[in-house]
Structure 1
């Protein structure tokens, strides 16, 4: 989100951000908020009480020493000052504890908002928009810093009540002792200093937000250097020095405008604020000295006004308990709000952001899931009619007027060179993207007219970049139909069909073993075993009502023998389902009922394997080329024994 270009606009945006932070009181808890507010007021009043009591003590020391006043008159204001000091320290400790509670509550609410917004759309288009990713990255980054979160900002706003209560109290003291004009002068000094502090911090924070893309890249590079995922390649390919230098360059580019703004904000303006402020303070102190010399105010009054002036000068400076927290916390809340608004533009009116069933219930919702037991509907026929789709900034569309019929209950294989549009077609079918033009229909019904959630429940997909959840093996499979996570028999059956059950049973905790070395007792699987997990997840979805199966390079991580075993049972696994198979290995698709060759977003050839070979076109040339590369008949023999 672009920062306001004018000072007035920045102030207005900051005020609106403070208002949004203040409105988090229901999430923080009214009771906790009231306690924090009361403690802030106490912290604001007690320093004034302390100053008054100390001044009274100072004013009575002289008469006591001269014997004109009994010593007892010194002790009681001194006792009040001591009590105020003790209670003040206790209130500070209590407020810190309450502030932590408030911050946890508000930040938890913010995380829920961020998660809900991230999952609010059935399409993934917004999550591939750099501007939206900047908003998400900024919000998520700030939420990870305990003192820069919206929760810290909420606690900081309440904490501000204390200093401003002191400002009111000490200004009143100056007014009583020296008169209203002296009090007004000190109030102007305080507000001038505060404007410089807050305005500078606000502009500084806006500059940091403006370099969000560079900060995101620096975090990515830092993650590469410090995480295990890239550790092998960084060392084998000798990328460590390059990565270090690249991180240094990006980090410096991100900080250069920040440093320049700091110099602009904190140099000459501060000198001006300081000069004006010190002039006002000097005038008030001179007035106090003159009044004391003339006998207008006594020693107690002079001591009190000196304390008040010094306190007001300090109160015009930086507030460590609130300033940084509120400014950066407001930035985080603004980023969360901007991200929510961006995602809301993509949300379907009838699909109000509940992207997935409640994780804490485990119950199916019959009116919504479509996966309660056997398939409720037959496998659909799918038609792409005049479909266009292009990625933002791309020179040409990926799909350009695509017309394609996928028959119901049959297996259709999609082949073609990289970039032909195969995976994009799958994402359109899964309603992860919407076509720029044309329609995608299931049994004659435009998918755009169906709730995306309902349609996606009918699809089981093995993506190329399938997710490896750092959870149990059972959960990794059961997520194919999350409402049926308690279907252990179905999970075991899916694992068996994917050829993985024996491997999982041999793990320390069987299907309950955590599949991540990041946790104690967790283990990791090989690439081929993870591929089988993804296949088992899709099979489990089929058991619970999905009627469309999409396999995008489902055996890319399997060895030749394992791939042959999978495809030997392929027809049985996909029986009565509308199946789309994508594979670069043409020997794997030859058993499909129909093969479609895509090129530059168009269908250029289609038919059965035998028909395409007889046609001796581009598919035949590609198949022959691959066959020559893998001339060993043993590699393909298991595949040819299965009827197509």
Structure 2
């Protein structure tokens, strides 16, 4: 059988349909409805089924009412029409609370799904550039609004409001179909008039939340809210009397969001006048025609009742709740889905990552002419850095603020990739190693370490370790008698307790030392003892050096009493190695290191209590 070749017109039509389908898939509303089955398939099916049933019932009630009127006029039995009308009426009332519960449950499931997607979005990329980007931070603040109620109702409420809007649309469509039984032009005229309200008043529901002004107000609102409710800020807010200041700034940011939405979505007088004119004309013509035909006997009493109800009921199609409830909810879903792509791209690391790290480093780590600039910032933080860290030795890195010390650590941990040059581990580029296996060989204590609201055991070994290993790590960190391993380190839990800053710092050190006992061979210490006094710092660093003997250790610190214990010291300046050697060698060279050391030593002489630094 010979196939008929496709005509150019047919190909063009198919291409046009494909383009239309693509545009529909790109719309936020499409993404919202498409994600509902992912939240819960059964609830989504029930939600849609109830929309259709509730949408059809008012039209059916109008028909049964007309049958009842005819029965009364004809003197026939009222049992059938009354039972039919009563059944429809009961269903109309009963399905409303049922649909409400289904909507709340589906909204909560959708909220859980969006939270899951956001957590996956922020944690999945190998790097952290996506979390340090202001632009993406703004997008994340906007995406998280689906449960905060700043620019729209929480999702559990929004899904119910959207269902109500869809039910109204279905009700209006059903009434228009009934009206077609009267005359062909009535549904076109009345239905078209009510549909026109969506076009005439569309500006009243559109709000672009991705503008810089809106995102800035959102960010300020979120920030001041956290200041008010988070414990770390509570002390200063009270000491400096900033309670009212915080409330005022939060209220101002929220008012700004309301004002921005109002200025964007306020109804314009001209579209409103046109809307009223179109609706009065369309409904007036239809009802006048129906009254004329009723007076002439062309339609019966029952039919007049049915068609009049249908003409009035068609108003459910009008611009209403769906238009203001759906855009923020759909926008939130689209923002979450879009954020996955943008964050994955920003946080992606380009290395192939196929080679296992094994027992690396056996020989050492080499920064070979490494340059680095942060995204959207042309200023180089590292500029031709050339540095070798021999395996099994300790290296301290010092320098003024902004010299690139923490950036060096981020690159070593594989949180960013060099803009130029390479980092080599035993002669192999770091980007060619399997990143998870490299990170298993590496442990770190950062200045801004995490404080997990978990038992002490899980704070030291979040992924698990034998109790004897956890206890040994705590002993190595000088925290053997800190608390029972089952004690939750947060005061808000039964039996929970908080720790001082220095105690928390020892827990963070114990976490790193626990990883060493489980096989980590590279130890990164970025200001690991910033919350300890000088004596405590010297004591804990001696403990670290003892516990990490044989490991490759990189220490970032401003305190030279600690730095001088390292095997070698590197002074960074302008993104390069300015000086490199032992403490004695650098002191003898009388260069940058000597100047910084003498400056800090003079401060200790002025403060004999030893609390400077």
Q: Which residue pairs with 1:490 in the alignment? A: 469
> More deviation in 204-213 or 401-410?
204-213
Q: Which residue pairs with 2:427 in the alignment? A: 444
Deviations 1:177-219 (A, max 9, x none): 2x0101211110221124445x345413557897123211122
How do residues 515-594 of structure 1 correspond to structure 2 at under 5 angstroms?
515-594=489-568
How do residues 103-182 of structure 1 correspond to structure 2 at under 5 angstroms?
103-145=107-149, 148=153, 162-177=167-182, 179-182=183-186
Distance of aligned partners of 1:196 and 1:539 in 2 relative to their CA distance in 1, 3 Å threshold: farther
After TM superposition, give the deviation of residue 539 of structure 1 in Å. 0.6
The structure 1 residue matched to 2:485, chosen from 511, 515, 524, is: 511
Q: Which residue pairs with 1:35 in the alignment? A: 46
After TM superposition, give the deviation of residue 329 of structure 1 in Å. 1.7
Q: Secondary structure at the match of 2:368?
A: strand
Partner Cα separation in structure 1 for residue 606 and residue 390 of structure 2: 34
After TM superposition, give the deviation of residue 84 of structure 1 in Å. 0.9
Distance of aligned partners of 1:34 and 1:247 in 2 relative to their CA distance in 1, 3 Å threshold: closer
Deviations 1:133-179 (A, max 9, x none): 122111122144597567776676666653343233211221212x0
Q: Is 1:396 the counterpart of 2:401 in the alignment?
A: no
Q: Secondary structure at the match of 1:388?
A: strand
Q: Which residue pairs with 1:290 in the alignment? A: 292
Partner Cα separation in structure 2 for residue 166 and residue 250 of structure 1: 40
Q: Which residue pairs with 2:15 in the alignment? A: none
Q: Secondary structure at the match of 1:99?
A: helix
Contact 2:360–2:426 under 8 Å retained in 1: no
Deviations 1:278-324 (A, max 9, x none): 211111111111111111112211111221111111331424xx554
Q: Which residue pairs with 1:17 in the alignment? A: 28
After TM superposition, give the deviation of residue 349 of structure 1 in Å. 7.3
Partner Cα separation in structure 1 for residue 596 and residue 196 of structure 2: 76
After TM superposition, give the deviation of residue 256 of structure 1 in Å. 3.5
Deviations 1:34-60 (A, max 9, x none): 333322222122111211222232344
Distance of aligned partners of 1:612 and 1:594 in 2 relative to their CA distance in 1, 3 Å threshold: same
Partner Cα separation in structure 2 for residue 232 and residue 255 of structure 1: 31
CA-atom RMSD in angstroms: 3.0
After TM superposition, give the deviation of residue 568 of structure 1 in Å. 3.0
Q: Secondary structure at the match of 1:575?
A: coil
Distance of aligned partners of 1:393 and 1:109 in 2 relative to their CA distance in 1, 3 Å threshold: closer
Q: Which residue pairs with 2:10 in the alignment? A: none
After TM superposition, give the deviation of residue 462 of structure 1 in Å. 0.4
Q: Which residue pairs with 2:335 in the alignment? A: 335
- TM-score w.r.t. the length of structure 1 is 0.84
Q: Is 1:89 the counterpart of 2:93 in the alignment?
A: yes
Deviations 1:300-355 (A, max 9, x none): 11111221111111331424xx5544322211111112111112324357889xxx
Can you give the 5+ residue segments of structure 1 that lack an aligned partner in the other structure?
1-7, 64-68, 353-366, 505-509, 637-644
How do residues 212-611 of structure 1 correspond to structure 2 at under 5 angstroms?
212-263=215-266, 265-319=267-321, 322-345=322-345, 346-348=347-349, 376-379=359-362, 381-392=364-375, 394=377, 396-479=379-462, 482=463, 485-504=464-483, 510-611=484-585
Distance of aligned partners of 1:570 and 1:43 in 2 relative to their CA distance in 1, 3 Å threshold: closer
- TM-score w.r.t. the length of structure 2 is 0.88
Partner Cα separation in structure 1 for residue 287 and residue 26 of structure 2: 34
Distance of aligned partners of 1:208 and 1:82 in 2 relative to their CA distance in 1, 3 Å threshold: farther
Partner Cα separation in structure 1 for residue 167 and residue 103 of structure 2: 13
Contact 1:196–1:270 under 8 Å retained in 2: yes
Contact 1:351–1:453 under 8 Å retained in 2: no
Distance of aligned partners of 1:395 and 1:232 in 2 relative to their CA distance in 1, 3 Å threshold: farther
Can you give the 5+ residue segments of structure 2 that lack an aligned partner in the other structure?
1-18
Q: Which residue pairs with 1:640 in the alignment? A: none
After TM superposition, give the deviation of residue 117 of structure 1 in Å. 1.4
Partner Cα separation in structure 1 for residue 455 and residue 283 of structure 2: 67
Distance of aligned partners of 1:23 and 1:426 in 2 relative to their CA distance in 1, 3 Å threshold: same
> More deviation in 493-502 or 517-526?
517-526
Distance of aligned partners of 1:61 and 1:191 in 2 relative to their CA distance in 1, 3 Å threshold: same
The total of aligned residue pairs comes to: 589
Contact 1:40–1:160 under 8 Å retained in 2: no
Partner Cα separation in structure 1 for residue 551 and residue 27 of structure 2: 54
Contact 1:110–1:150 under 8 Å retained in 2: no
Partner Cα separation in structure 1 for residue 263 and residue 396 of structure 2: 57
Partner Cα separation in structure 2 for residue 118 and residue 85 of structure 1: 50
The structure 1 residue matched to 2:193, chosen from 189, 195, 204, is: 189
